[in-house]
Structure 1
Amino acid sequence: MRIFIYSRKSVYTGKGESVENQVEMCKSYISDKLLKDSKAEINIYEDEGFSAKNTNRPQFQQMLRDIKQMKPQYIVCYRLDRISRNVSDFSSLIEELNHHNISFVCIREEFDTSKPMGKAMMYIASVFAQLERETIAERVRDNMLLLARTGRWLGGTTPMGYTSEKIQEVVIDGKLKIACKLKDNPDELKVVDCIHEKFLELRSVSGVSKYLIKQGIKTRNGNMFSLPGIKEILQNPVYCIADEDAWEYFTRHQSDVCFEKSDCSYKYALLAYNKRDYRKKSAPRQDMDKWIVAMGKHKGRISGKRWVELQDILRDNIPTGKKPALMHNGYSMLSGMIYCDKCNNRMFAKQRSGKSGSLFYDYICNSKLRGGLELCNCQNINGQQADEMIYESLIQYMNENAGILPLLEKLKREFQRQVSKNFSAILEDKIKKSTGEIDNLIHTLSHEELGAAFIRRVNERIRDLDVEITSLKEEKDLLKENKGDKEKRELKINQFSMALWNLKESSSILSMEDKRTLVKLLVKKIVWDGKKLHVYMNS
């Protein structure tokens, strides 16, 4: 006989129902109830630090793989919710076990799926396990929002300029309870003040980025400030003084402001909560009418009037979609296709100052565009000359390469393969996995007695996953937008097949978009080393 034991606990701790204790109790049950005088080979699977929200757990997945290979007679666990608190996941597992004639035993509830009543009761218990998980999550969320109204810091990664400091407060029932507030970090606050001042002066996030790079100003981790990172600092109310201008701004946007106008004070700053909806996948940012805005216990850095001015500038700078992106303009052929040999970044077309509407433009690497010579001192390329040289080289390549027809057929087959490949499904799978991990981490935060360091790491991971999900969704949306153009693009390739035989004469009838597509079909990569363009053809 072969028996599997599975144990799980959400939080790393040696207290209570640890994975070790669960395993020992399962062994005792097996020897007393299942084996008695016989013997069995026992395999043990332990997942510690994983939620039961879903089945994305390494040892659980290993157990499922071993089920198909080893075919045990029993799977034993200490309690039903050790397996799953999700009814759908649990039902799928039971069906899988029934298919392999494997009995499932929970020693705490004394359920055994080898018996009809045990199977029925197991399903009922799984419904209540999921209800318990959802109730706990809702209760934790409500408690966090209630605490938010007090203006205390609720944990996680502190914003630039502050650290977390523990304080003691007396609650209504007279008990002392540890809470946290934000404490000034003078060196970092100087950087925050600089970002605010420079943005009001330059009115550009990228302009602030270039200034910080030139001055060698970096984040607390020693990295260059990213554009989203700078924007987050500019948008964060944590630096805004809790004065009347700030109160009127958030009241006008229907935020839940937790203090009266008469309580406004220049002594303290704001804290905003509930900015994201963690009950939904990818935790999207919520509108300001869902925010809870409280008066914190830390000092502010910028008046409400100037902070509101910052928000108005940021709003006015939001792209309207009328201005073409650097890679998609109507005058350059190679924007985004050339790579800088020094920094390995793409090079984009930029019209020369004072030449708006003309054909005078250069290709500049993205590092230089962002941070100037401090990031990359590679020489710019005259855009018009570069386009003409590349096009002439393609004509010469076509004239000298007698085997161009097989190449065209190969390119057409490659295009067909890319069209048929389901990139959207791959991206969706990645989004689901990242979202599932966020759900697990959020559920982990519902447990008591979590250390500050652990909470900080969890919040950092949630933030990283959120950025990753946003990027994946943008890529998926881009694929969706391009889906309707597949037939047109395929038709163009056939047209290119004809145009390529007389490429020089075709130049006048091909649009700039057609020429870009043509370059992508024939050219693998273009590299600029500061003096020469190196063209690598598809072979």
Structure 2
Amino acid sequence: MHFFIYGRKSVYTGKGESIENQLEMCKQYIQNKFSDQSEQDITVYEDEGFSAKNTDRPQFQQMLRDMKRQKPDYLVCYRLDRISRNVSDFSALIEELNDRNISFVCIKEEFDTSKPMGKAMMYIASVFAQLERETIAERVRDNMLMLARTGRWLGGTTPLGYTSEKMQEVVIDGRMKTSWQLREQPEELRIVDLIFEKYLELHSISGVSKYLAGQGIRSRKGKSYSLEGIKQILQNPVYCAADQDAFDYFTACHSDVSFEAGECTGKYGLLSYNKRDYKKKHAPRQPVSQWIIAIGKHRGRIPGRKWAAVQNALKENMPAEGGPAPVKNDYSLLSGMIRCSQCGSRMFAKRRTGREANRRVYDYICGSKIQGGRKACSCQNISGRQADDAVCRFLREYASEDGGLCRMLERLKDRLQKQLQRQPQGNRPGSIAAQIDRCRAEMNQLMNSLAEGQLCSAFIRQVNGRIGELDQKLSRLLQERQRQEAVRLPDDREEASGILSGGHYALKDQIAVLSVRDKRQLLRLMAEKVLWDGERLHIYMR
């Protein structure tokens, strides 16, 4: 027989349930249960300094890879939560072990999946392990909320105009807790005041950006203020004074306002918490209704009425929810695709104003020039209509050349195949089919277990919850399989060429009647990049 032993500890210590103690107890268990086994029959894997919230651990992953090459008879661990505190991860591991006929033994809880009762108890214990992890996370979040409501700065990058200083105060159960307080930086705060004043004057973030660039005003890093950076400054409640107008604004937005109207003296500024959802990728900004607003320990800078006026102006200038961003307009072909060869920035379409104002008259202007004026980039603008017409003519000519089009199709096909090969193994069509089968099999097993009767209500709730998770996962997998099957090119070059350039629907004849959106998609398919050097337009095909 061959045994795998796995040990894990989140933080390095030399006492208690150290990895050494875990491994030693596992070895003793094997010797007691299987007396004829030697050290050569045991392979050890240990991760120190890694949490069990997921399976992204080097030795754990190595163990899974080795399991496929040399199947052990048993996987032994000291305690269940050494493997995982996540029900989904644990269930996937058990399913993998079952498929390979590998028994799992947990010596502390005395579980052995080679027996039916041991397998059932293993699932139940994993549910409580995840519940413990989620309870700890919720407790930590509640403590952070309590600190936020006391008006203390909770750390992180300080906003423009402030630095943070460490302080200690008694805040929870008589314990000394370390917190931070914002300290003013007068030079930077004057820039903040200027940004608010200019925005209320111009009602344009790009106008504020141009003004700052023209005055030579730079950020902390010595760069021009970006449009997104200016927007974040304008939306940050840290500058807003805690007065009645501010209280009314956030109350109307259904924010969690942690102070009463009687506390609104206007002397101090505000602090906000829960502005971003860090559970999601890139931590997107949450709606104002999800924010927690508290009175800080720093002085208020912008009166509430003025701050609210800025927020209302920002909303009016934003595109409708779900609508296209300003640069993704419905009239220009190359906006955001064409680049300035002088500075490398993208170029965007901008309609002309004044006497030349006309919906059909627009120019492509370098993004750096839009933001910082001619000091940032002196590249000559290009007429939008002329540029778009020239590109369409070029595409029609290119489509009529069978040799060039076929070569482009061949390169595109090769590129898509290489992208598919670079995909993680779990995202490939064959692997997705296997995952779909495993999901359906586990759902069937769980539904069969519910049909047996004589089950406690807690177990039934957990099984129903797991079935719901699997159903959602199955839906995602089916959508992914459908998407992958859709992204395929014909294997025959002549057939592919005919689709795009031959027959009644010849591409060269259809370009003239395509919508701007369809033309954009076609251009992205065929062209690698488009450059403007101030005099000539260069198109680089794939």
| TM-score relative to the length of structure 1 | 0.73
Paired position in structure 2 for 1:339: 339
2:529 pairs with one of 520, 525, 529: 525
CA distance in 2, matches of 1:260, 1:340: 53
CA distance in 1, matches of 2:214, 2:204: 16
CA distance in 2, matches of 1:328, 1:229: 23
User: How do 1:288-327 residues align onto structure 2 when only pairs under 5 Å count?
Assistant: 288-320=288-320, 325-327=326-328
User: How do 1:495-534 residues align onto structure 2 when only pairs under 5 Å count?
Assistant: 497=502, 519=523, 523-534=527-538
Deviation (angstroms), 1:105: 2.6
Change beyond 3 A, Cα 1:374–1:500 = farther
CA distance in 1, matches of 2:177, 2:512: 77
Deviation (angstroms), 1:200: 2.4
CA distance in 1, matches of 2:75, 2:511: 70
Paired position in structure 2 for 1:378: 379
Paired position in structure 1 for 2:210: 210
User: How do 1:358-369 residues align onto structure 2 when only pairs under 5 Å count?
Assistant: 359-369=360-370
Deviation (angstroms), 1:37: 6.7
Kindly indicate whether the alpha-carbon contact (under 8 Å) linking 1:8 and 1:19 is maintained by their aligned counterparts in 2: yes
- List per-residue Cα deviations over 1:262-309 (Å, max 9, x = no partner): 222333211122334567787665444443322111222212121111
Paired position in structure 2 for 1:39: 39
Kindly indicate whether the alpha-carbon contact (under 8 Å) linking 2:240 and 2:307 is maintained by their aligned counterparts in 1: yes
User: How do 1:182-197 residues align onto structure 2 when only pairs under 5 Å count?
Assistant: 182-197=182-197
Paired position in structure 2 for 1:270: 270
Paired position in structure 1 for 2:539: 535
Kindly indicate whether the alpha-carbon contact (under 8 Å) linking 2:152 and 2:181 is maintained by their aligned counterparts in 1: yes
Q: Does 1:130 align with 2:134?
A: no
- After TM superposition, the structure 1 stretch with the greater mean CA deviation from structure 2, 12-21 or 70-79, is 12-21
Deviation (angstroms), 1:325: 4.1
User: How do 1:58-137 residues align onto structure 2 when only pairs under 5 Å count?
Assistant: 58-137=58-137
CA distance in 2, matches of 1:398, 1:120: 63
Deviation (angstroms), 1:84: 1.2
Change beyond 3 A, Cα 1:54–1:365 = same
Change beyond 3 A, Cα 1:123–1:41 = same
User: How do 1:484-495 residues align onto structure 2 when only pairs under 5 Å count?
Assistant: none
| Structure 2 unaligned blocks of 5 or more | 432-478, 490-494
Change beyond 3 A, Cα 1:164–1:31 = farther
User: How do 1:152-301 residues align onto structure 2 when only pairs under 5 Å count?
Assistant: 152-171=152-171, 174-221=174-221, 224-276=224-276, 285-301=285-301
Paired position in structure 2 for 1:443: none
CA distance in 2, matches of 1:283, 1:502: 42
| Structure 1 unaligned blocks of 5 or more | 430-475
- List per-residue Cα deviations over 1:396-454 (Å, max 9, x = no partner): 6678x474675697699899999x99x9x979x9xxxxxxxxxxxxxxxxxxxxxxxxx
Kindly indicate whether the alpha-carbon contact (under 8 Å) linking 2:340 and 2:347 is maintained by their aligned counterparts in 1: yes
Deviation (angstroms), 1:88: 3.0
Change beyond 3 A, Cα 1:217–1:147 = same
Deviation (angstroms), 1:388: 4.4
Paired position in structure 2 for 1:459: none
Amino acid at match of 1:328: N
Kindly indicate whether the alpha-carbon contact (under 8 Å) linking 1:3 and 1:40 is maintained by their aligned counterparts in 2: no
Amino acid at match of 1:368: K
Deviation (angstroms), 1:352: 2.5
Q: CA RMSD in A?
A: 4.4
Amino acid at match of 1:134: E
User: How do 1:409-424 residues align onto structure 2 when only pairs under 5 Å count?
Assistant: none
Amino acid at match of 1:363: Y
- After TM superposition, the structure 1 stretch with the greater mean CA deviation from structure 2, 65-74 or 222-231, is 222-231
Change beyond 3 A, Cα 1:65–1:395 = closer
Paired position in structure 1 for 2:151: 151
CA distance in 1, matches of 2:38, 2:187: 70
- List per-residue Cα deviations over 1:175-234 (Å, max 9, x = no partner): 444333223344543443333233223222222333344455444455554433322221
Deviation (angstroms), 1:126: 1.5
Change beyond 3 A, Cα 1:88–1:334 = closer
CA distance in 2, matches of 1:171, 1:537: 64
Change beyond 3 A, Cα 1:42–1:210 = farther
Kindly indicate whether the alpha-carbon contact (under 8 Å) linking 2:500 and 2:506 is maintained by their aligned counterparts in 1: no
Amino acid at match of 2:335: S
Amino acid at match of 1:90: F
CA distance in 2, matches of 1:373, 1:8: 59
CA distance in 2, matches of 1:116, 1:395: 68
| TM-score relative to the length of structure 2 | 0.73
Kindly indicate whether the alpha-carbon contact (under 8 Å) linking 2:330 and 2:517 is maintained by their aligned counterparts in 1: no
Q: Among the aligned pairs, what percent are the same residue? A: 59
> Higher relative contact order at CA 8 Å, sep ≥6: structure 1 or structure 2?
1
CA distance in 1, matches of 2:526, 2:283: 42
Kindly indicate whether the alpha-carbon contact (under 8 Å) linking 2:244 and 2:264 is maintained by their aligned counterparts in 1: yes
Kindly indicate whether the alpha-carbon contact (under 8 Å) linking 1:53 and 1:85 is maintained by their aligned counterparts in 2: yes
Deviation (angstroms), 1:385: 3.5
CA distance in 2, matches of 1:497, 1:412: 18
CA distance in 1, matches of 2:154, 2:278: 15
Change beyond 3 A, Cα 1:95–1:370 = same
Deviation (angstroms), 1:502: 11
User: How do 1:44-59 residues align onto structure 2 when only pairs under 5 Å count?
Assistant: 44-59=44-59
Instruction: State the number of aligned residues.
Output: 477
- After TM superposition, the structure 1 stretch with the greater mean CA deviation from structure 2, 377-386 or 185-194, is 185-194
Change beyond 3 A, Cα 1:500–1:229 = same
Paired position in structure 2 for 1:463: none
* Other structure's SS at 1:534 match: strand
* Other structure's SS at 1:178 match: strand
* Other structure's SS at 2:297 match: coil
CA distance in 2, matches of 1:366, 1:91: 51
Amino acid at match of 1:64: L
Change beyond 3 A, Cα 1:35–1:295 = farther
Kindly indicate whether the alpha-carbon contact (under 8 Å) linking 1:408 and 1:497 is maintained by their aligned counterparts in 2: no
CA distance in 1, matches of 2:171, 2:395: 77
